[in-house]
Amino acid sequence: MKNLTVSEHFQFEAIGDGVYAAFAKSTGKAVSNAGVIDLGDRVVIFDSFLAPTAALDLAKASEAATGKPVRFVVNSHHHLDHVEGNAALKAKFGVSIIGPKAEAAVPALLKLGNDKDYLIRLYARAALKVISPSTATRFENST
């Protein structure tokens, strides 16, 4: 696999058709790994790292690889090394944040939800399916 971009925080590689992995470097501030999925008409980042600078680097890497800006961030859970980049991505790109419903009351997610400008869609342990492709803002459980 070829490293597609240079970041002090992670190594960015294509791992499948439209699927990319960002592997944290031990010397960077990403701390955890992340992913990018190109859905054709929109791009999703999976987990946003510990540092906002790493999250912004990830968005740049994503756009360089896909030619599209990121529209959504999906968080696997509330640990800071997975969500701390959310606010920077929301502020810069206006992304929607998606996370587990069971963690809706967790402070790391609530700090984004207290501002009316933030759109957070929270769903429990189910695959997400876009049901409004024209606006790409509405999701439902697809169980």
Please provide the DSSP assignment of 63-101 as one string: HHHHSS-EEEEE-SS--HHHHTTHHHHHHHH--EEEE-G
In this prediction the pTM is: 0.72
pLDDT tens for each residue of 93-129: 999 888 777 666 665 554 444 333 333 333 322 333 3
pLDDT tens for each residue of 19-78: 999 999 999 999 999 999 999 989 999 999 989 999 999 999 999 999 999 999 988 887
Cβ neighbour number for residue 85 with a 10 Å cutoff: 29
Q: What is the pLDDT of residue 108?
A: 52
Residue 7, pLDDT > 50, answer yes
